[in-house]
Amino acid sequence: MFLVISVFIGIYLPVQYKFGYEKTKFVFAVIIMASPFILPQLLRMNQLDLVFFFDYSLILIYAGIILISFMVLAISAFMSMKYYDKADLA
């Protein structure tokens, strides 16, 4: 769940800083409202085979997921700061 939220926030915040709240609120509202219906359908269509994950230690898998989540958040923060620095706040 931390990875999913990190990816969503990691995409949402830089896009919002770049294009503004008014331009992005409708698109992300639709994504948030549609995700409970679309994601289960996508999972059912793909029939993902995640058996190869069971070859590794559970601690190693969780550590990898947490590391990826922090990397996504760090990249998002860097991009957000870059866009925010260019904004005229006057």
CA distances from 25 to 5, 51, 87, 90 (A): 17, 38, 19, 23
Binning pLDDT at 50, 70 and 90, where does residue 48 land?
Answer: low
CA distances from 31 to 2, 53, 64, 70, 75 (A): 18, 29, 27, 23, 22
Model pLDDT, residue 80: 82
Q: Residue 33 pLDDT > 60, yes or no? A: yes
CA-CA-CA-CA dihedral for 82, 32, 20, 2, to nearest 10: -20
Average pLDDT taken over every residue of the chain: 81
Q: Residue 56 pLDDT > 90, yes or no? A: no
Q: Residue 90 pLDDT > 60, yes or no? A: no
30 Cβ partners below 8 Å, 6+ apart? none
More confident residue, 45 or 60: 60
* 88 three-class SS: coil
